[in-house]
Amino acid sequence: MNRAIVRTAFVVGLAIASFPAAALLAQDGDTFAVQGATIHTVSDGTIENGTIVMRGGRIIAVGANVDIPAGAEIIDGTDKHVYPGMIDAFSQLGLTEIGAVPATNDMNEMGRFNPHLNAHTAIHPASEHIPVARANGITHTMAAPGGGGRGGGGGSGIRGQATLIHLDGWTVEEMEIEKSAAMVVSWPTLSSRGGFRRGPSRPFADVQREFDEQVEELDAWFVAAQHYKQATESGSSRLTRDLQLEHLSRVLDGGLRVIVQANDHREIESAVAFAEKWNLNLVIAGATGARDIAGMLAAKGIPVILGPVQRLPNGQDVAYDDANTLPGVLADAGVEIAFATFNSADSRTLPYEAANSVSWGLSQDAALEAITLGPARILGVSDRLGSLEVGKVGNVIVTDGDPLEITTEIEHVFIRGLPSDLDNKHKRSWEKYKNRPVKVKAVTTT
Amino acid sequence: MRRISLVALGLVASASGLVAQDAPVLIQGATILTAADAGKIENGSILFENGRIVAVGPASEINAPSNAVVIDGTGKFVTPGIIDAHSHIAAESINEGSITVSSMVSIMDVIDPTDIAIYREAAGGTTTSHVMHGSANPIGGNNAVIKHRWGADAQGLLFQGAPPTIKFALGENPKRSSTAGTGFPQRYPATRMGVMDVIRQAFAEATEYKAEWDTYNARVSGGDRSAIPPRRDLKLDPLVEILEGTRFVHAHSYRADEILQLMRVAEEFDFRIHTFQHVLEGYRVADEIAEHGAHASTFSDWWAYKVEAYEAIPYNAAIMTDRGIVVSINSDSGEEGRHLNQEAAKTMKWGGMDESQALAMVTINPAIQLMIEDRVGSLEVGKDADVVLWENYPLSSYAKVQTTYVDGEIVFDVDRDREMRTQMAAEKDRLREMLGEGGSR
């Protein structure tokens, strides 16, 4: 595999010039190389005994025969593996600290229609969850409002905008990849089942009626957004600025991608019809019931962000391995998939969620792609992230094996071409308490 | 001798609604992780018959009886059935939370043999579960140990001979921090002080009650026919059993301080906490737990879902193991209970446990904690044939179960599962037809 060998600095220069928005914190001279490793590019196969060089925040060379620039800090890659950093395509990282403490939760605002809100404004760069996820090779995530948790925001509605961030930085501005990566919408549900704190089961006819009403309500918001957009474009001087409609109108005409959280296939079909009516750039998140509509999603080119694979089947009579087999079914049908934890504390388990579909039909390569390049494509950043290619941002991990395997150690994490600190709250406690002096049995002192 | 024991086994099997498989089963040429002194046996075989393991060792040393069902284990793995030391499946109800001491109630009265979780967990290799009362009160109800004999009735699921256990609970749940303002009734205790007080009061009461019975029994055995027995108290009876060492305490706990305090309260009344459950800060008082003589059953990597879980670390199991505690990894969840093998593997990554230590966390260690280690938890001759055949390496995120046996009976098989799906689909179609196409919504 003798391709992708050192392209010129000219290409790199171009790459940097074309993405001025990405704050590259690495200085031009900061050069790091991993030499003699197995390099899993994701985009273009595997390079045995290969070398990857990062400089100024970006990958400047990947290949079997690469000259390492003078002054580079070199990591010996013997018996090591290099992968793109993993992305948790839908998480609550930075938006919550302790689930049961509302004061620490900033995922769900009051009210059901909040298209003007942005996760960016609430991301806490010092959250202890971020270094925990990072230490296991998660280098970036889409932090999203909605997706459960306490506070307001139950039921359907427009949750707000999600922000794509690197999992390293002193401030959110340093972390930011895309301030507004998507508009998150929770689709109305057709679930009639009751449950703990959900109240009793309800007649399906009632649920269906409410569902239809809520879809109509969403439609009314889009009508309003369209009118607002038309009024704005016509330059009307009498227009009162409306932040909700201003932001919602960004999704019209194939603009800002809309991530719709929906599970049941009828909910997804409803969202797809809605998206077609409004010409939306649609992504489905959740999609636990998408099995029978995989062909439709593939044909329409609608990607899916799958929730945890380690979840229970959606009903008593659903196959025990329903969640394990779904990713393979979708991928085989041609649906672009990504995995996500929809969580914060569990974000580090992302690679294991992906792995849990591999023995059930998803290829290992596809599973890896679904936590690297796949989500980068879905979120519109595959020009910058998701694979080991010259010109891409240096989000790179060095491991002693397959990162989808539990026992694999993540030895180095580079974010934007700089080595990240792999220390975290858990490791500090481990170091402290494993070294607690052995307790001496109580001596009686009188 | 042998004949008698086989007859006895037959009776147990029929009582539980299961018919022992006629032919012996031999899994041949697999990698066997025994969770016993034999360790890992490459190219090994295991033979079981009438619900018991008859032989386990190198394939070359174990011949197939003429009537045996022989399963080719080449490239596959065999482990003991997984034991979940903390579960809430297969129960009609979990919490009698209206009172602070609910030791008069028992999960054994509310076993639900139709809970599909019994089957789903068996599909993940789980064969025994400790079905526990909830954590709503400082002294909870009595628990049940079940085997995943899917298809058996409530009585048939019970693990006969498993010593009785009881649930205690400390911290946020019994002081009801998480239910404040949610419409759940408020009651004492509301602090960790109150939680310890409830336990201390209960044992003060139980100690007096026990003394009344001891006096009475002494008089009776001394030939005093006029002795009048004390009035029976169903709340205090289990607590007396704890004091007498015949019922074992499994205490839900999070913070190091409350773990320490409960041990001291127990020591005050001269009993021991048998196993700390969750015990997320156990790593901070590991020496004290070891000194007290308690076991620990924890989660692999859950943290931060509430304040008392914010200091949880995935290295907890490893630190406690290194300090001499028998540690298990439990599920507390019908979902997690389907992949405890993977949760055990996390102790290899976080804390550097080796393969046998990790496997022990979900097999022999929980068996020790439930005091059923002479029956289950490892692959040894004479033990129950609770056996899992894996398609690939079990301590892995890629692990997949092929067949799970309980008492030598198949409770899950990946091919049988596919067949049943086809049958179920056909039955659904037939029912739909009977209702008229499209159903009657």
Return the DSSP state at B295.
E
Identify whether residues A355 and A259 lie together within a single domain: yes
Contact: A312, B335; criterion CB under 8 Å: yes
Residue A173 phi/psi, 5° resolution?
A: -65, -35
Q: Write down the pLDDT at residue A8.
A: 36
- Rounded Cα distance, A427 and A417, in Å: 24
Instruction: Find chain A residues with C-beta within 8 A of B345's C-beta.
Output: 406-407
In chain B, which residue's Cα lies nearest the Cα of A409? B349
- A179 Cβ contact list (under 8 Å, min separation 6): A118, A120, A161, A163
- What does the pLDDT read at residue A154? 55
Query: Is pLDDT at A14 greater than 50 in this prediction?
Result: no
- Candidate from A316, A345, A348 with C-beta closest to B305: A345
Cβ separation B396–A406 shorter than 8 A: yes
DSSP A183-194: EEEEPP------
Q: With contacts defined as CB-CB under 8 Å, which chain B residues touch A438?
A: 287, 323
- In our burial notation (b when 16+ CB lie closer than 10 A, e otherwise), range B192-202 reads bebbbbbbeeb
Q: Is the pLDDT of residue A441 over 90?
A: no
Give the tokens for residue A211. Answer: 């569902």
pLDDT at res. B187: 84
- On whether both A404 and A373 belong to a single domain, the answer is no
Residue A36 sits in the same domain as residue A154: no
Domains and CATH numbers, chain B: 1-80+378-441 (2.30.40.10), 82-376 (3.20.20.140)
More confident residue, A170 or B181: A170
pLDDT at B375 over 80: yes
Measure A180 CA to nearest chain B CA, in Å.
Answer: 27
On whether the CB atoms of residues B121 and B340 are closer than 8 A, the answer is: no
A-B contacts at Cβ under 8 angstroms: 123
The pLDDT tens digits for A316-360 are 889 999 999 999 999 999 999 999 999 999 999 999 999 999 999
Answer left, alpha or beta for residue A304, where phi above 0 means left and psi between -120 and 50 means alpha. beta
Higher pLDDT among residues B187 and A144, named by residue:
A144
- Chain A nearest-CA distance from B117, in A, is 9
Backbone angles phi, psi at B197, to 5 degrees: -65, -45
Average pLDDT over residues A301-330: 95
Proportion of chain A in helix, strand, coil states, percent, rounded to 5:
30, 25, 45
Q: For residues A130 and A204, state if they share a domain.
A: yes
In chain B, the residue whose alpha carbon lies closest to the alpha carbon of A363 is: B398
Question: Which stretches does DSSP call E strand in B232-335?
Answer: 248-253, 275-278, 295-298, 327-329
Q: Which of B246, B242, B104, B253 is closest to B171 using CA atoms?
A: B253
Report pLDDT digits (tens) over B146-174: 999 999 999 999 999 999 999 999 999 99
Among A367, A384, A401, the domain-final residue is A384
pLDDT confidence bin for A236, thresholds 50/70/90? confident
Mean pLDDT on A369-374: 98
Nearest CA to B265 out of B213, B325, B194, B190 is that of B194
Say which DSSP state B90 is in. Answer: S
Model confidence band, residue B180 (pLDDT cutoffs 50, 70, 90): low
Rounded to whole angstroms, how far apart are CA atoms A133 and A147? 18
Residues paired with B405 in a beta bridge: B387, B410
Chain A CA closest to residue B116: A316
CATH number at residue A300: 3.20.20.140
Residues 364-423 of A with CB under 8 A from B: 404-409
Q: Examine the pLDDT at B3 and tell me if it is beyond 50.
A: no
State the pairing for strand pair B387-390/B295-298: unpaired
Verify that A198 and A336 share a domain, yes or no. yes
Does A75 share its domain with A143?
Answer: no
pLDDT at B9 over 90: no
Q: Touching check for A317 and chain B: CB below 8 Å?
A: yes
Q: What is the pLDDT of residue B438?
A: 55
Distance between start and end Cα atoms, chain B: 62
Provide the pLDDT for residue A200. Answer: 79
- For chain A, the C-alpha Rg in angstroms (whole number) is 23
Please indicate if any CB of chain B lies within 8 Å of the CB of A432.
no
Does one domain contain both A32 and A170?
no
- Contact: A360, B400; criterion CB under 8 Å: yes
Give dist(CA A219, CA A201) in Å, integer. Answer: 27
The CA distance from B2 to A442, in Å, is 51
Integer Cα distance of A323 and A307 in angstroms: 9
Q: Residue A212 pLDDT more than 80?
A: yes
pLDDT beyond 80 at A444: no
Helical axes A265-278 vs A204-233, angle rounded to 10° = 20
Per-residue pLDDT of B24-42, as tens digits, reads: 999 999 999 999 999 999 9
CA distance B145 to B86: 10
- pLDDT tens digits for range B44-80: 999 999 999 999 999 999 999 999 999 999 999 999 9
User: Span A384-388, mean pLDDT?
Assistant: 98
- The CA distance from A159 to the nearest CA of chain B, in Å, is 22
- pLDDT at position A149: 40
Question: So what's the pLDDT on residue A293?
Answer: 98
**Neighboring chain B residues of A204 at a CB cutoff of 8 Å:** 441
Mean pLDDT to the nearest integer, B93-103: 94
Do both A102 and A77 map to the same domain? no
CATH number at residue A429: 2.30.40.10
pLDDT at position B24: 97
Shared domain for A159 and A270, answered yes or no, is yes
What the block records as the tokens of A51 is 């070398």
Task: Quote the mean pLDDT of chain A.
Answer: 91
Residue-range definition of the domain harbouring residue A421: 1-84+386-446
| Facing A406 at nearest CB: one of B322, B346, B441 | B346
Cβ within 8 Å, pair A406-B348:
yes
What pLDDT does residue A18 have? 40
Percent of chain A past pLDDT 70, that is, above it, reads 90
Asked whether residue A222 carries a pLDDT value surpassing 80, the answer given is: yes
Gap between the Cα atoms of B251 and A360, Å rounded: 38
Q: Mind telling me how many Å the CA of A203 is from chain B's nearest CA?
A: 9
Predicted confidence at residue A21, as pLDDT, reads: 40
If asked whether residues A283 and A423 sit together in one domain, one would say no
B397/A316 Cβ within 8 A = no
- The Cα A179–Cα A191 span in angstroms is 33
Query: Residues of chain B with pLDDT > 70: what percent?
Result: 92
CB contact under 8 A, B335 and A310: yes
Nearest residue of chain A to residue B318 (CA atoms): A434
What's the rounded mean pLDDT across residues A47-55?
98
Q: Which tens digit of pLDDT belongs to each residue from B270-304?
A: 999 999 999 999 999 999 999 999 999 999 999 99
Instruction: Report the Cα B100 to chain-centroid distance in Å.
Output: 24
pLDDT over 70 (residue A15): no
Q: Does residue A12 have a pLDDT over 70?
A: no
**pLDDT one-digit tens code per residue, B360-372:** 999 999 999 999 9
Tell me which of B359, B395, B397 to substitute to probe the interface with A (most A C-beta atoms closer than 10 Å). B397
Has residue A246 got a pLDDT over 70?
yes
Q: Work out the angle between the directed axes of helices B192-221 and B256-268 (0-180°, nearest 10).
A: 20
Q: Do A408 and B349 lie within an 8 Å CB cutoff? A: yes
**A63 lies in the same domain as A116:** no
Neighbours of B216 (CB within 10 A): 15
Residue A362 has phi, psi (to 5 degrees) of -90, 135
Whether ipTM exceeds 0.95:
no
For residue B167, list its beta bridge partners: B250
On chain A, the residues whose CB falls within 8 A of the CB of B402 are none
Residue B6 has pLDDT above 90, yes or no: no
Q: Which chain A positions have a beta carbon within 8 Å of B178's beta carbon?
A: 100
Q: Which pLDDT does position B238 carry in this prediction? A: 98
Question: For tokens 């080719």, what's the residue?
Answer: B72
Residue-wise pLDDT tens digits, A389-435: 999 999 999 999 999 999 999 999 999 999 999 999 999 999 999 99
The pLDDT of B231-243, averaged and rounded, is 98
In this structure, are A270 and A319 located in the same domain?
Answer: yes
C-alpha to C-alpha distance for A255 and A182, rounded to whole angstroms: 10
- Tell me if B310 and A311 make a contact (CB, 8 A cut-off): no
Question: Is residue A428 within 8 Å of A435, Cβ to Cβ?
Answer: no
Structural domain count of chain A: 2
For range A271-275, the mean pLDDT: 98
* Locus of tokens 């059993």: B241
